[in-house]
Amino acid sequence: MKDPDFMARAIELAKKGRLKVQPNPMVGCVIVKNNKIIGEGWHKEYGKDHAEVNAIKNCKKIFGTKKALKLIAGSNVYVNLEPCSIENNTPPCSNALIECKIKKLFCGTLDPNPKINGKGIKLLKKSGIETNVGLLKNQCIQLNRIFFTNQKKSRPYIILKSAQSLDGKIALKSGESNWITNSESRKNSHHIRSRVKGILVGKNTAEQDNPSLTVRLSKNELGLDKGESIEQPVKIVLGNLNRSKKVSKIFAGNSKIIIASNQLAKKSRNVEYLKYRKKNFLEEFLQDLLDRNISSILVEGGQKTLNTFIMNNLFDELVLYTAPIFLGKESKDALSIHSPSAIKKSMKLEMVKLERFKDDIKTTYYNNNL
Protein backbone atom coordinates (compact mmCIF):
# COMPACT_ATOMS: atom_id res chain seq x y z
CA MET A 1 0.00 0.00 0.00
CA LYS A 2 1.05 3.58 -0.68
CA ASP A 3 0.55 6.79 1.27
CA PRO A 4 -2.74 7.72 -0.52
CA ASP A 5 -4.13 4.28 0.30
CA PHE A 6 -3.52 4.75 4.02
CA MET A 7 -5.11 8.21 3.92
CA ALA A 8 -8.10 6.79 2.03
CA ARG A 9 -8.47 4.28 4.84
CA ALA A 10 -8.40 7.11 7.40
CA ILE A 11 -11.21 8.84 5.48
CA GLU A 12 -13.31 5.67 5.45
CA LEU A 13 -12.82 5.28 9.20
CA ALA A 14 -13.78 8.91 9.76
CA LYS A 15 -17.15 8.37 8.05
CA LYS A 16 -18.14 5.92 10.78
CA GLY A 17 -18.65 8.88 13.13
CA ARG A 18 -21.07 10.66 10.78
CA LEU A 19 -24.12 10.38 13.06
CA LYS A 20 -22.49 11.11 16.41
CA VAL A 21 -19.61 13.62 16.26
CA GLN A 22 -21.19 16.97 15.34
CA PRO A 23 -20.35 19.75 16.03
CA ASN A 24 -16.89 18.15 15.91
CA PRO A 25 -15.43 17.03 12.56
CA MET A 26 -15.25 13.44 11.34
CA VAL A 27 -11.69 12.19 11.79
CA GLY A 28 -10.00 8.86 11.14
CA CYS A 29 -6.46 7.80 12.01
CA VAL A 30 -4.20 5.00 10.75
CA ILE A 31 -0.87 4.04 12.33
CA VAL A 32 1.59 2.31 9.99
CA LYS A 33 4.89 0.53 10.66
CA ASN A 34 6.92 -1.18 7.93
CA ASN A 35 4.07 -0.58 5.47
CA LYS A 36 1.58 -2.46 7.68
CA ILE A 37 -1.33 -1.03 9.67
CA ILE A 38 -0.72 -1.62 13.37
CA GLY A 39 -3.57 0.49 14.73
CA GLU A 40 -6.54 2.49 13.55
CA GLY A 41 -9.38 4.47 15.04
CA TRP A 42 -11.92 7.20 14.50
CA HIS A 43 -13.70 9.88 16.49
CA LYS A 44 -16.83 8.00 17.55
CA GLU A 45 -18.86 10.53 19.50
CA TYR A 46 -18.78 14.22 20.44
CA GLY A 47 -17.04 14.74 23.77
CA LYS A 48 -15.20 11.40 23.67
CA ASP A 49 -11.71 10.33 22.57
CA HIS A 50 -10.47 11.61 19.23
CA ALA A 51 -9.29 9.42 16.35
CA GLU A 52 -5.58 9.52 17.23
CA VAL A 53 -6.15 8.37 20.80
CA ASN A 54 -8.50 5.62 19.65
CA ALA A 55 -5.91 4.42 17.11
CA ILE A 56 -3.25 4.22 19.85
CA LYS A 57 -5.69 2.30 22.09
CA ASN A 58 -6.47 -0.05 19.20
CA CYS A 59 -2.78 -0.79 18.75
CA LYS A 60 -2.40 -1.49 22.48
CA LYS A 61 -5.41 -3.81 22.37
CA ILE A 62 -3.92 -5.80 19.51
CA PHE A 63 -0.30 -6.07 20.68
CA GLY A 64 -0.40 -5.26 24.38
CA THR A 65 0.72 -1.92 25.82
CA LYS A 66 4.46 -2.59 25.99
CA LYS A 67 4.87 -3.97 22.47
CA ALA A 68 2.44 -1.41 21.04
CA LEU A 69 4.46 1.55 22.34
CA LYS A 70 7.61 0.08 20.78
CA LEU A 71 5.83 -0.36 17.46
CA ILE A 72 4.26 3.12 17.46
CA ALA A 73 7.65 4.71 18.12
CA GLY A 74 9.07 5.48 14.69
CA SER A 75 5.76 4.83 12.93
CA ASN A 76 3.90 6.88 10.31
CA VAL A 77 0.48 8.27 11.21
CA TYR A 78 -2.21 9.19 8.67
CA VAL A 79 -5.03 11.48 9.74
CA ASN A 80 -7.49 13.41 7.54
CA LEU A 81 -7.51 16.52 9.76
CA GLU A 82 -4.74 18.27 11.70
CA PRO A 83 -4.36 16.86 15.23
CA CYS A 84 -5.82 19.23 17.81
CA SER A 85 -3.46 21.29 19.95
CA ILE A 86 -5.90 22.58 22.57
CA GLU A 87 -7.69 20.89 25.45
CA ASN A 88 -11.46 21.07 25.34
CA ASN A 89 -13.44 17.92 26.13
CA THR A 90 -10.33 15.79 25.62
CA PRO A 91 -6.53 16.30 25.93
CA PRO A 92 -4.63 17.55 22.83
CA CYS A 93 -4.01 14.81 20.27
CA SER A 94 -0.72 16.43 19.24
CA ASN A 95 0.67 15.70 22.69
CA ALA A 96 -0.40 12.05 22.49
CA LEU A 97 1.46 11.60 19.20
CA ILE A 98 4.55 13.35 20.54
CA GLU A 99 4.57 11.16 23.65
CA CYS A 100 4.38 8.06 21.45
CA LYS A 101 7.42 9.27 19.48
CA ILE A 102 5.97 8.78 16.01
CA LYS A 103 8.31 9.41 13.09
CA LYS A 104 6.08 11.11 10.53
CA LEU A 105 2.57 12.55 10.31
CA PHE A 106 0.56 12.66 7.07
CA CYS A 107 -2.26 15.18 7.49
CA GLY A 108 -4.95 15.70 4.86
CA THR A 109 -5.69 19.32 5.72
CA LEU A 110 -5.14 21.90 8.43
CA ASP A 111 -7.91 22.50 10.96
CA PRO A 112 -9.93 25.61 9.91
CA ASN A 113 -10.55 26.48 13.57
CA PRO A 114 -8.36 29.60 14.12
CA LYS A 115 -7.53 28.36 17.62
CA ILE A 116 -5.86 25.30 16.11
CA ASN A 117 -5.02 26.15 12.48
CA GLY A 118 -1.37 25.15 12.00
CA LYS A 119 -0.58 25.05 15.72
CA GLY A 120 -0.80 21.27 15.96
CA ILE A 121 1.61 20.88 13.05
CA LYS A 122 4.03 23.36 14.65
CA LEU A 123 4.05 21.41 17.91
CA LEU A 124 4.84 18.18 16.06
CA LYS A 125 7.63 19.80 14.03
CA LYS A 126 9.11 21.35 17.15
CA SER A 127 9.30 17.87 18.66
CA GLY A 128 11.24 16.56 15.67
CA ILE A 129 8.33 14.83 13.94
CA GLU A 130 8.31 15.09 10.15
CA THR A 131 4.99 16.39 8.80
CA ASN A 132 3.31 16.24 5.41
CA VAL A 133 0.16 18.32 4.89
CA GLY A 134 -2.15 18.02 1.87
CA LEU A 135 -2.39 14.30 1.07
CA LEU A 136 -5.85 13.79 -0.53
CA LYS A 137 -6.64 17.35 0.55
CA ASN A 138 -9.80 17.83 -1.50
CA GLN A 139 -11.35 14.57 -0.29
CA CYS A 140 -10.50 15.49 3.30
CA ILE A 141 -12.14 18.91 2.99
CA GLN A 142 -15.26 17.54 1.29
CA LEU A 143 -15.61 14.94 4.03
CA ASN A 144 -16.01 17.72 6.61
CA ARG A 145 -18.01 20.30 4.64
CA ILE A 146 -20.16 20.86 7.72
CA PHE A 147 -17.23 21.60 10.03
CA PHE A 148 -15.41 23.81 7.50
CA THR A 149 -18.60 25.81 6.90
CA ASN A 150 -19.13 26.27 10.65
CA GLN A 151 -15.61 27.59 11.09
CA LYS A 152 -15.34 29.75 7.97
CA LYS A 153 -18.88 31.16 7.79
CA SER A 154 -19.86 31.16 11.48
CA ARG A 155 -23.19 29.49 10.78
CA PRO A 156 -24.63 25.99 10.42
CA TYR A 157 -24.19 24.00 7.23
CA ILE A 158 -27.49 24.43 5.36
CA ILE A 159 -29.12 21.82 3.13
CA LEU A 160 -32.22 22.84 1.18
CA LYS A 161 -34.51 19.95 0.24
CA SER A 162 -37.54 19.83 -2.01
CA ALA A 163 -39.70 17.17 -3.66
CA GLN A 164 -41.16 18.27 -6.99
CA SER A 165 -42.93 17.15 -10.14
CA LEU A 166 -41.38 17.19 -13.60
CA ASP A 167 -42.89 20.64 -14.17
CA GLY A 168 -41.37 22.00 -10.94
CA LYS A 169 -44.44 21.90 -8.70
CA ILE A 170 -44.45 21.02 -4.99
CA ALA A 171 -48.20 20.88 -4.30
CA LEU A 172 -51.60 21.14 -5.92
CA LYS A 173 -53.53 24.41 -5.79
CA SER A 174 -55.42 23.00 -2.78
CA GLY A 175 -52.12 22.53 -0.94
CA GLU A 176 -52.13 18.73 -1.23
CA SER A 177 -48.57 17.41 -1.52
CA ASN A 178 -48.65 13.87 0.01
CA TRP A 179 -46.98 12.13 -1.66
CA ILE A 180 -45.24 13.51 -4.74
CA THR A 181 -42.27 11.17 -4.48
CA ASN A 182 -42.20 7.44 -3.78
CA SER A 183 -41.43 5.57 -0.56
CA GLU A 184 -37.77 4.95 -1.46
CA SER A 185 -37.16 8.68 -1.97
CA ARG A 186 -38.84 9.45 1.34
CA LYS A 187 -36.75 6.84 3.11
CA ASN A 188 -33.61 8.38 1.63
CA SER A 189 -34.66 11.81 2.89
CA HIS A 190 -34.77 10.37 6.41
CA HIS A 191 -31.13 9.38 6.02
CA ILE A 192 -30.40 13.07 5.33
CA ARG A 193 -32.38 13.98 8.46
CA SER A 194 -30.28 11.57 10.51
CA ARG A 195 -27.09 13.43 9.56
CA VAL A 196 -28.18 16.93 10.57
CA LYS A 197 -28.63 18.56 13.96
CA GLY A 198 -31.84 20.41 13.10
CA ILE A 199 -34.80 20.36 10.67
CA LEU A 200 -36.28 23.72 9.74
CA VAL A 201 -39.68 24.61 8.29
CA GLY A 202 -41.67 27.81 7.99
CA LYS A 203 -44.82 28.51 10.00
CA ASN A 204 -47.09 27.95 6.98
CA THR A 205 -45.64 24.50 6.25
CA ALA A 206 -45.92 23.59 9.94
CA GLU A 207 -49.62 24.52 10.06
CA GLN A 208 -50.56 23.08 6.66
CA ASP A 209 -48.70 19.75 6.87
CA ASN A 210 -48.34 19.17 10.64
CA PRO A 211 -44.98 17.38 10.06
CA SER A 212 -43.32 15.24 12.73
CA LEU A 213 -39.81 16.46 11.76
CA THR A 214 -38.25 13.27 13.09
CA VAL A 215 -35.98 10.49 11.81
CA ARG A 216 -38.19 7.45 11.22
CA LEU A 217 -35.61 4.77 10.44
CA SER A 218 -34.52 1.73 12.44
CA LYS A 219 -31.12 1.40 14.11
CA ASN A 220 -30.28 -1.28 11.57
CA GLU A 221 -31.14 1.05 8.67
CA LEU A 222 -28.90 3.71 10.19
CA GLY A 223 -26.04 1.29 10.82
CA LEU A 224 -26.23 1.69 14.60
CA ASP A 225 -25.55 -0.99 17.20
CA LYS A 226 -28.35 -2.16 19.49
CA GLY A 227 -26.93 -0.24 22.42
CA GLU A 228 -26.72 3.05 20.50
CA SER A 229 -29.53 5.57 20.47
CA ILE A 230 -31.04 7.42 17.52
CA GLU A 231 -30.40 11.13 18.02
CA GLN A 232 -33.39 13.12 16.84
CA PRO A 233 -32.67 16.54 15.31
CA VAL A 234 -33.95 19.74 16.88
CA LYS A 235 -37.23 20.95 15.37
CA ILE A 236 -36.90 24.53 14.13
CA VAL A 237 -39.73 26.78 12.97
CA LEU A 238 -39.50 30.22 11.36
CA GLY A 239 -42.51 32.30 12.35
CA ASN A 240 -44.66 32.73 15.44
CA LEU A 241 -46.06 29.24 16.02
CA ASN A 242 -48.31 28.41 18.94
CA ARG A 243 -49.45 25.02 20.24
CA SER A 244 -52.62 23.77 18.59
CA LYS A 245 -54.15 20.64 17.07
CA LYS A 246 -52.90 21.81 13.68
CA VAL A 247 -49.27 21.35 14.81
CA SER A 248 -49.72 18.52 17.31
CA LYS A 249 -46.97 16.34 15.79
CA ILE A 250 -44.33 19.05 16.10
CA PHE A 251 -45.06 19.52 19.80
CA ALA A 252 -45.45 15.81 20.52
CA GLY A 253 -43.10 14.16 23.01
CA ASN A 254 -40.13 15.85 24.60
CA SER A 255 -38.33 16.90 21.43
CA LYS A 256 -36.28 20.08 21.57
CA ILE A 257 -38.04 22.83 19.59
CA ILE A 258 -36.76 26.29 18.61
CA ILE A 259 -39.19 28.89 17.29
CA ALA A 260 -37.85 32.15 15.86
CA SER A 261 -39.91 35.23 15.04
CA ASN A 262 -40.23 38.94 15.73
CA GLN A 263 -43.19 38.29 18.02
CA LEU A 264 -43.21 38.28 21.81
CA ALA A 265 -40.97 35.54 23.17
CA LYS A 266 -42.53 32.87 25.39
CA LYS A 267 -41.29 30.21 27.76
CA SER A 268 -41.89 26.47 27.76
CA ARG A 269 -40.20 23.36 29.11
CA ASN A 270 -38.81 21.96 25.85
CA VAL A 271 -39.55 24.90 23.55
CA GLU A 272 -37.20 27.85 23.14
CA TYR A 273 -38.72 31.00 21.65
CA LEU A 274 -36.25 33.45 20.13
CA LYS A 275 -37.40 36.99 19.42
CA TYR A 276 -35.71 39.25 16.87
CA ARG A 277 -36.25 42.95 16.25
CA LYS A 278 -35.13 43.00 12.62
CA LYS A 279 -37.57 41.98 9.87
CA ASN A 280 -34.82 39.95 8.20
CA PHE A 281 -33.25 38.16 11.15
CA LEU A 282 -32.09 35.04 9.32
CA GLU A 283 -28.32 35.59 9.61
CA GLU A 284 -28.57 36.49 13.30
CA PHE A 285 -30.75 33.46 13.89
CA LEU A 286 -28.30 31.13 12.15
CA GLN A 287 -25.50 32.40 14.39
CA ASP A 288 -27.68 31.70 17.42
CA LEU A 289 -28.27 28.15 16.18
CA LEU A 290 -24.53 27.54 15.82
CA ASP A 291 -24.00 28.90 19.34
CA ARG A 292 -26.37 26.12 20.46
CA ASN A 293 -24.20 23.47 18.73
CA ILE A 294 -26.70 23.09 15.89
CA SER A 295 -23.98 22.77 13.28
CA SER A 296 -26.17 21.62 10.39
CA ILE A 297 -29.80 22.10 9.38
CA LEU A 298 -32.07 20.60 6.76
CA VAL A 299 -34.55 23.15 5.41
CA GLU A 300 -37.77 21.41 4.41
CA GLY A 301 -39.96 24.50 4.24
CA GLY A 302 -42.32 25.43 1.44
CA GLN A 303 -41.81 27.90 -1.38
CA LYS A 304 -41.54 31.01 0.83
CA THR A 305 -38.94 29.52 3.17
CA LEU A 306 -36.82 28.04 0.38
CA ASN A 307 -36.96 31.34 -1.51
CA THR A 308 -35.76 33.23 1.57
CA PHE A 309 -32.66 31.07 1.95
CA ILE A 310 -31.86 31.13 -1.77
CA MET A 311 -32.34 34.89 -2.20
CA ASN A 312 -30.07 35.51 0.81
CA ASN A 313 -27.55 32.99 -0.59
CA LEU A 314 -27.67 31.15 2.71
CA PHE A 315 -27.30 27.53 1.70
CA ASP A 316 -24.51 25.08 0.98
CA GLU A 317 -26.33 22.17 -0.58
CA LEU A 318 -29.54 21.71 -2.57
CA VAL A 319 -31.26 18.32 -2.82
CA LEU A 320 -34.09 17.88 -5.34
CA TYR A 321 -36.24 14.78 -5.57
CA THR A 322 -38.09 14.81 -8.91
CA ALA A 323 -41.05 12.49 -9.51
CA PRO A 324 -42.19 11.48 -13.03
CA ILE A 325 -45.53 13.30 -12.80
CA PHE A 326 -47.03 16.58 -13.99
CA LEU A 327 -49.11 18.72 -11.63
CA GLY A 328 -50.08 21.51 -14.02
CA LYS A 329 -49.82 25.27 -14.19
CA GLU A 330 -52.26 26.02 -11.36
CA SER A 331 -50.24 23.99 -8.87
CA LYS A 332 -47.69 25.59 -6.53
CA ASP A 333 -44.18 26.21 -7.88
CA ALA A 334 -41.19 24.87 -6.00
CA LEU A 335 -39.55 28.29 -6.24
CA SER A 336 -40.51 31.86 -7.11
CA ILE A 337 -37.30 33.87 -7.02
CA HIS A 338 -36.49 37.10 -8.82
CA SER A 339 -34.90 36.89 -12.26
CA PRO A 340 -31.30 38.09 -12.71
CA SER A 341 -30.65 41.03 -15.01
CA ALA A 342 -28.62 38.74 -17.27
CA ILE A 343 -28.01 34.99 -17.55
CA LYS A 344 -24.33 35.46 -16.75
CA LYS A 345 -25.36 36.97 -13.40
CA SER A 346 -27.51 34.01 -12.41
CA MET A 347 -26.57 31.82 -9.45
CA LYS A 348 -24.78 28.69 -10.64
CA LEU A 349 -24.53 25.51 -8.61
CA GLU A 350 -22.29 22.46 -8.95
CA MET A 351 -24.07 19.16 -9.52
CA VAL A 352 -22.20 16.55 -7.47
CA LYS A 353 -24.47 13.52 -7.42
CA LEU A 354 -27.32 11.93 -9.37
CA GLU A 355 -29.26 9.01 -7.85
CA ARG A 356 -32.33 7.01 -8.80
CA PHE A 357 -35.01 5.68 -6.44
CA LYS A 358 -37.31 3.60 -8.63
CA ASP A 359 -38.64 6.22 -11.06
CA ASP A 360 -37.69 9.25 -8.93
CA ILE A 361 -34.46 11.14 -9.54
CA LYS A 362 -32.47 12.73 -6.71
CA THR A 363 -30.04 15.48 -7.69
CA THR A 364 -27.55 16.96 -5.22
CA TYR A 365 -25.91 20.34 -5.85
CA TYR A 366 -23.25 22.28 -3.95
CA ASN A 367 -23.31 26.06 -3.61
CA ASN A 368 -19.94 27.83 -3.23
CA ASN A 369 -16.55 26.24 -2.75
CA LEU A 370 -14.93 25.86 0.66
| Residues annotated catalytic, as ranges | 52
174 to 10, 166, 228: CA distances (angstroms): 51, 19, 42
Residue 94 DSSP SS3: helix
How far apart CA 201 and CA 181 sit, in angstroms, is 19
State the DSSP H helix or E strand holding residue 351, giving kind and residue range, or none if neither.
strand 350-357
Q: Are 9 and 40 a contacting pair, CB within 8 Å?
A: yes
What single string gives the DSSP state of each residue in 25-83?
A: PP-EEEEEETTEEEEEEE--STTS--HHHHHHHHHHHHH-HHHHHHHHTT-EEEEEEPP
d(CA 191, CA 174) in angstroms, rounded, equals: 29
| Secondary structure percentages of the chain, helix, strand, coil, to 5 | 30, 25, 45
The β-bridge partners of 296 are 157
